[in-house]
Amino acid sequence: MRIVFMGTPDFSVPTLKALVEAGHDVAAVVTQPDKPKGRGKEMQMTPVKVQALEYKIPVYQPAKVRDQAFIQVLREMDADVFVVIAFGQILPKDVLELPRYGCVNIHASLLPKYRGAAPIQWCVIDGEKETGITTMMMDVGLDTGDMLEKVVIPIGDKETGGSLHDKLSLAGGSLILSTLRKLEEGTAVRTPQTEEGTCYAKMLTKSLGDIDWNQDARSIERLIRGLNPWPSAYTMWNGRTIKIWAADVLADGNPGDGLPCGGVALSDRHCLAVRTGQGLLSIKELQMEGKKRMDIETFLRGYPIPAGDVFVNRTQQ
Protein backbone atom coordinates (compact mmCIF):
# COMPACT_ATOMS: atom_id res chain seq x y z
CA MET A 1 0.00 0.00 0.00
CA ARG A 2 1.06 3.58 -0.61
CA ILE A 3 1.28 5.16 2.84
CA VAL A 4 1.79 8.57 4.38
CA PHE A 5 3.14 8.02 7.89
CA MET A 6 2.50 10.56 10.66
CA GLY A 7 4.34 10.25 13.96
CA THR A 8 6.84 12.04 16.16
CA PRO A 9 8.37 10.43 19.30
CA ASP A 10 10.28 7.20 19.98
CA PHE A 11 6.96 5.39 20.42
CA SER A 12 6.22 5.83 16.70
CA VAL A 13 9.52 4.51 15.34
CA PRO A 14 8.87 0.72 15.52
CA THR A 15 5.70 1.20 13.46
CA LEU A 16 7.58 3.09 10.75
CA LYS A 17 10.20 0.35 10.72
CA ALA A 18 7.55 -2.36 10.48
CA LEU A 19 5.88 -0.69 7.49
CA VAL A 20 9.13 -0.27 5.58
CA GLU A 21 10.43 -3.76 6.37
CA ALA A 22 7.09 -5.28 5.28
CA GLY A 23 7.55 -3.72 1.85
CA HIS A 24 4.92 -1.00 2.02
CA ASP A 25 5.52 2.11 -0.07
CA VAL A 26 5.97 4.82 2.55
CA ALA A 27 5.71 7.84 0.27
CA ALA A 28 6.30 10.45 2.96
CA VAL A 29 6.73 10.98 6.68
CA VAL A 30 4.99 13.86 8.45
CA THR A 31 6.36 14.79 11.86
CA GLN A 32 6.51 17.73 14.23
CA PRO A 33 8.99 20.57 13.58
CA ASP A 34 12.49 20.36 15.05
CA LYS A 35 12.71 21.96 18.50
CA PRO A 36 15.54 23.41 20.61
CA LYS A 37 16.60 21.10 23.41
CA GLY A 38 19.12 20.98 26.23
CA ARG A 39 21.16 23.71 27.81
CA GLY A 40 22.63 24.72 24.48
CA LYS A 41 19.15 24.95 22.93
CA GLU A 42 20.39 23.18 19.81
CA MET A 43 17.72 22.20 17.32
CA GLN A 44 16.90 18.51 17.60
CA MET A 45 15.16 16.31 15.07
CA THR A 46 12.26 14.12 16.16
CA PRO A 47 13.04 10.39 16.49
CA VAL A 48 10.71 9.68 13.56
CA LYS A 49 12.54 12.17 11.36
CA VAL A 50 15.88 10.57 12.21
CA GLN A 51 14.55 7.15 11.19
CA ALA A 52 12.89 8.47 8.03
CA LEU A 53 16.10 10.11 6.85
CA GLU A 54 17.94 6.81 7.35
CA TYR A 55 15.38 5.24 5.01
CA LYS A 56 15.69 8.22 2.64
CA ILE A 57 11.95 8.90 2.92
CA PRO A 58 10.85 12.51 2.24
CA VAL A 59 10.05 14.31 5.50
CA TYR A 60 7.49 17.09 6.00
CA GLN A 61 7.26 19.16 9.19
CA PRO A 62 4.26 21.49 9.00
CA ALA A 63 3.69 23.80 11.94
CA LYS A 64 -0.03 23.31 11.28
CA VAL A 65 -1.18 20.27 9.34
CA ARG A 66 -4.51 21.99 8.66
CA ASP A 67 -2.91 24.69 6.47
CA GLN A 68 -4.50 24.52 3.03
CA ALA A 69 -1.15 24.62 1.24
CA PHE A 70 0.02 21.54 3.11
CA ILE A 71 -3.30 19.76 2.61
CA GLN A 72 -2.73 20.18 -1.12
CA VAL A 73 0.72 18.59 -0.73
CA LEU A 74 -0.91 15.61 0.98
CA ARG A 75 -3.58 15.40 -1.71
CA GLU A 76 -0.94 15.17 -4.44
CA MET A 77 0.71 12.22 -2.69
CA ASP A 78 -2.32 10.11 -3.70
CA ALA A 79 -1.95 7.78 -0.72
CA ASP A 80 -3.98 4.66 -0.05
CA VAL A 81 -3.90 5.25 3.70
CA PHE A 82 -2.46 7.56 6.33
CA VAL A 83 -0.99 5.73 9.33
CA VAL A 84 -0.95 7.93 12.43
CA ILE A 85 0.72 7.18 15.75
CA ALA A 86 1.56 9.79 18.40
CA PHE A 87 1.79 12.53 15.79
CA GLY A 88 0.97 15.45 18.06
CA GLN A 89 -1.53 17.39 15.95
CA ILE A 90 -5.26 16.88 15.40
CA LEU A 91 -6.12 16.07 11.79
CA PRO A 92 -8.99 18.12 10.32
CA LYS A 93 -11.81 16.61 8.28
CA ASP A 94 -10.15 17.79 5.04
CA VAL A 95 -7.12 15.61 5.80
CA LEU A 96 -9.07 12.61 7.10
CA GLU A 97 -10.94 12.35 3.80
CA LEU A 98 -7.87 12.34 1.53
CA PRO A 99 -6.64 8.70 1.45
CA ARG A 100 -8.61 5.90 -0.26
CA TYR A 101 -8.86 3.75 2.86
CA GLY A 102 -8.97 6.62 5.34
CA CYS A 103 -6.66 7.39 8.25
CA VAL A 104 -5.72 4.62 10.68
CA ASN A 105 -4.58 5.55 14.17
CA ILE A 106 -2.60 3.33 16.52
CA HIS A 107 -3.65 4.09 20.11
CA ALA A 108 -1.90 2.77 23.21
CA SER A 109 -4.91 1.49 25.15
CA LEU A 110 -7.86 -0.84 24.87
CA LEU A 111 -10.36 1.71 23.63
CA PRO A 112 -12.73 3.15 24.67
CA LYS A 113 -10.77 3.15 27.96
CA TYR A 114 -7.99 5.69 28.25
CA ARG A 115 -8.64 7.97 25.34
CA GLY A 116 -6.28 10.92 25.37
CA ALA A 117 -2.65 11.92 25.61
CA ALA A 118 -1.12 9.64 28.27
CA PRO A 119 -2.87 6.24 28.31
CA ILE A 120 0.28 4.24 29.09
CA GLN A 121 1.16 6.01 32.31
CA TRP A 122 -2.40 6.27 33.60
CA CYS A 123 -2.95 2.52 33.21
CA VAL A 124 -0.05 1.94 35.63
CA ILE A 125 -1.09 4.72 38.01
CA ASP A 126 -4.67 3.40 38.15
CA GLY A 127 -3.55 -0.16 38.88
CA GLU A 128 -4.88 -1.77 35.70
CA LYS A 129 -3.92 -5.42 35.17
CA GLU A 130 -3.87 -5.21 31.38
CA THR A 131 -3.83 -2.72 28.55
CA GLY A 132 -3.05 -2.97 24.87
CA ILE A 133 -3.03 -1.44 21.42
CA THR A 134 -6.08 -0.50 19.38
CA THR A 135 -6.07 0.33 15.69
CA MET A 136 -8.97 2.52 14.67
CA MET A 137 -10.36 4.58 11.82
CA MET A 138 -9.88 8.24 12.65
CA ASP A 139 -12.72 10.72 12.82
CA VAL A 140 -12.87 14.33 13.96
CA GLY A 141 -13.22 13.32 17.63
CA LEU A 142 -10.40 12.56 20.06
CA ASP A 143 -9.76 8.80 19.86
CA THR A 144 -13.44 8.16 19.13
CA GLY A 145 -13.31 6.45 15.72
CA ASP A 146 -14.43 2.93 14.84
CA MET A 147 -12.10 0.25 16.23
CA LEU A 148 -10.46 -2.22 13.86
CA GLU A 149 -8.22 -4.54 15.89
CA LYS A 150 -6.85 -4.92 19.40
CA VAL A 151 -3.99 -6.73 21.08
CA VAL A 152 -3.92 -7.19 24.87
CA ILE A 153 -0.72 -6.67 26.89
CA PRO A 154 -0.57 -7.65 30.59
CA ILE A 155 0.75 -5.10 33.08
CA GLY A 156 3.29 -6.59 35.49
CA ASP A 157 3.38 -5.89 39.22
CA LYS A 158 6.59 -3.87 38.76
CA GLU A 159 5.74 -2.40 35.36
CA THR A 160 6.85 1.19 34.86
CA GLY A 161 5.56 3.74 32.42
CA GLY A 162 8.82 3.28 30.53
CA SER A 163 8.78 -0.51 30.31
CA LEU A 164 5.12 -0.57 29.26
CA HIS A 165 5.81 2.14 26.66
CA ASP A 166 8.42 -0.08 25.02
CA LYS A 167 6.16 -3.16 24.97
CA LEU A 168 3.24 -1.27 23.46
CA SER A 169 5.45 0.46 20.92
CA LEU A 170 6.58 -2.89 19.52
CA ALA A 171 3.03 -4.28 19.65
CA GLY A 172 1.77 -1.36 17.58
CA GLY A 173 4.27 -2.10 14.84
CA SER A 174 3.03 -5.67 14.60
CA LEU A 175 -0.69 -4.92 14.78
CA ILE A 176 -0.72 -2.29 12.03
CA LEU A 177 0.49 -4.83 9.46
CA SER A 178 -2.49 -7.07 10.19
CA THR A 179 -4.89 -4.12 10.08
CA LEU A 180 -3.60 -2.82 6.74
CA ARG A 181 -3.78 -6.28 5.20
CA LYS A 182 -7.44 -6.61 6.20
CA LEU A 183 -8.25 -3.13 4.92
CA GLU A 184 -6.72 -3.95 1.55
CA GLU A 185 -8.50 -7.31 1.37
CA GLY A 186 -11.82 -5.78 2.38
CA THR A 187 -12.11 -8.01 5.46
CA ALA A 188 -11.59 -5.35 8.14
CA VAL A 189 -14.42 -5.18 10.68
CA ARG A 190 -15.25 -1.73 12.06
CA THR A 191 -16.62 -1.71 15.61
CA PRO A 192 -18.11 1.59 16.81
CA GLN A 193 -16.97 2.74 20.22
CA THR A 194 -19.51 3.06 22.99
CA GLU A 195 -19.38 5.63 25.77
CA GLU A 196 -19.72 2.90 28.40
CA GLY A 197 -16.48 2.38 30.30
CA THR A 198 -14.73 5.36 28.76
CA CYS A 199 -12.15 7.35 30.67
CA TYR A 200 -9.76 10.09 29.64
CA ALA A 201 -5.99 9.89 30.11
CA LYS A 202 -5.12 13.52 30.65
CA MET A 203 -1.75 14.94 29.71
CA LEU A 204 1.08 14.45 32.19
CA THR A 205 2.54 17.44 34.02
CA LYS A 206 5.52 17.71 36.35
CA SER A 207 3.25 18.74 39.21
CA LEU A 208 1.51 15.35 39.01
CA GLY A 209 4.68 13.78 40.44
CA ASP A 210 4.52 15.81 43.68
CA ILE A 211 3.81 12.96 46.12
CA ASP A 212 0.89 13.44 48.50
CA TRP A 213 1.85 11.28 51.48
CA ASN A 214 -1.75 11.35 52.72
CA GLN A 215 -2.60 8.87 49.96
CA ASP A 216 -2.27 5.16 50.66
CA ALA A 217 1.03 3.37 50.08
CA ARG A 218 -0.22 1.32 47.14
CA SER A 219 -1.45 4.38 45.25
CA ILE A 220 1.86 6.17 45.81
CA GLU A 221 3.83 3.12 44.68
CA ARG A 222 1.82 2.97 41.45
CA LEU A 223 2.32 6.70 40.90
CA ILE A 224 6.08 6.23 41.22
CA ARG A 225 6.06 3.42 38.64
CA GLY A 226 3.69 5.16 36.27
CA LEU A 227 5.73 8.37 36.16
CA ASN A 228 9.04 6.54 35.65
CA PRO A 229 10.92 7.81 33.62
CA TRP A 230 8.92 11.01 32.98
CA PRO A 231 7.92 13.25 34.59
CA SER A 232 8.99 11.25 37.70
CA ALA A 233 7.62 11.26 41.23
CA TYR A 234 9.31 13.43 43.83
CA THR A 235 9.15 14.72 47.38
CA MET A 236 10.80 17.45 49.46
CA TRP A 237 13.24 16.95 52.34
CA ASN A 238 14.89 19.86 54.14
CA GLY A 239 14.09 22.13 51.21
CA ARG A 240 15.64 19.80 48.63
CA THR A 241 13.89 17.83 45.92
CA ILE A 242 14.31 14.04 45.92
CA LYS A 243 13.06 12.01 42.98
CA ILE A 244 11.78 8.56 43.90
CA TRP A 245 12.22 5.95 41.18
CA ALA A 246 11.18 2.71 42.89
CA ALA A 247 9.45 1.64 46.09
CA ASP A 248 7.67 -1.29 47.70
CA VAL A 249 4.62 -1.41 49.93
CA LEU A 250 6.13 -2.56 53.21
CA ALA A 251 2.96 -2.89 55.26
CA ASP A 252 -0.72 -2.14 55.10
CA GLY A 253 -2.69 -0.68 57.97
CA ASN A 254 -1.38 2.25 60.00
CA PRO A 255 2.09 1.46 61.37
CA GLY A 256 4.16 4.45 62.42
CA ASP A 257 1.45 5.88 64.66
CA GLY A 258 2.51 9.20 66.09
CA LEU A 259 4.22 10.26 62.87
CA PRO A 260 2.60 12.55 60.34
CA CYS A 261 2.07 11.25 56.82
CA GLY A 262 5.44 11.53 55.11
CA GLY A 263 7.26 10.80 58.35
CA VAL A 264 10.23 8.41 58.24
CA ALA A 265 9.21 5.44 60.39
CA LEU A 266 12.35 3.37 59.84
CA SER A 267 15.81 4.30 58.61
CA ASP A 268 18.81 2.00 58.65
CA ARG A 269 21.49 1.01 56.15
CA HIS A 270 19.08 -1.08 54.08
CA CYS A 271 15.67 0.50 54.48
CA LEU A 272 13.90 3.84 54.40
CA ALA A 273 10.24 3.37 55.30
CA VAL A 274 7.81 6.27 55.11
CA ARG A 275 4.39 6.51 56.69
CA THR A 276 1.53 7.19 54.27
CA GLY A 277 -2.19 7.68 54.74
CA GLN A 278 -2.53 3.90 54.72
CA GLY A 279 0.54 1.72 55.19
CA LEU A 280 4.32 2.07 54.98
CA LEU A 281 6.24 2.66 51.76
CA SER A 282 9.79 1.32 51.52
CA ILE A 283 11.83 3.46 49.13
CA LYS A 284 14.24 1.44 46.96
CA GLU A 285 15.75 3.88 44.47
CA LEU A 286 15.96 7.64 44.62
CA GLN A 287 17.88 10.68 43.43
CA MET A 288 18.91 13.84 45.23
CA GLU A 289 18.57 16.98 43.12
CA GLY A 290 21.66 17.48 40.97
CA LYS A 291 22.92 13.93 41.64
CA LYS A 292 22.67 10.52 39.99
CA ARG A 293 20.08 7.86 40.71
CA MET A 294 21.09 5.59 43.60
CA ASP A 295 19.84 2.48 45.34
CA ILE A 296 18.73 3.06 48.91
CA GLU A 297 21.92 1.76 50.55
CA THR A 298 24.16 4.03 48.46
CA PHE A 299 21.87 7.00 49.01
CA LEU A 300 21.74 6.62 52.79
CA ARG A 301 25.52 6.48 53.02
CA GLY A 302 25.65 9.96 51.53
CA TYR A 303 22.40 11.31 52.99
CA PRO A 304 21.63 9.61 56.32
CA ILE A 305 17.99 10.61 56.72
CA PRO A 306 17.04 9.86 60.34
CA ALA A 307 13.81 8.30 61.55
CA GLY A 308 11.37 11.01 62.52
CA ASP A 309 12.26 13.33 59.64
CA VAL A 310 9.33 14.22 57.41
CA PHE A 311 8.96 14.27 53.63
CA VAL A 312 6.53 16.90 52.39
CA ASN A 313 5.10 17.83 49.03
CA ARG A 314 6.17 20.98 47.27
CA THR A 315 2.99 22.88 48.08
CA GLN A 316 3.83 22.54 51.80
CA GLN A 317 7.18 24.30 51.42
What are the average pLDDT values for consecutive 10-residue runs of the chain, which has 317 residues?
Answer: 98 99 98 90 95 98 98 98 98 98 99 97 98 98 96 98 99 98 98 92 97 97 99 97 97 75 92 94 97 97 95 84
Q: Is 111 annotated as a binding residue?
A: yes
- What CATH number is given for 206-316 in this structure? 3.10.25.10
Other C-beta atoms within 10 Å of 274: how many? 30
HSE toward the beta carbon, residue 280, CA cutoff 13 A: 17
Determine whether domain 2-201 maps to CATH 3.40.50.720. Answer: no
3-57 per-position pLDDT tens digit:
999 999 999 999 999 999 999 999 999 999 999 988 788 999 999 999 999 999 9
110 carries a ligand binding annotation: yes
- pTM for the model stands at 0.95
If you compute the radius of gyration of the chain from its CA atoms, what whole number of angstroms results? 23
For residue 317, what pLDDT is reported? 65
pLDDT value for 269: 84
Q: What are the residue boundaries of the structural domains of the chain, listed by start? A: 2-201, 206-316
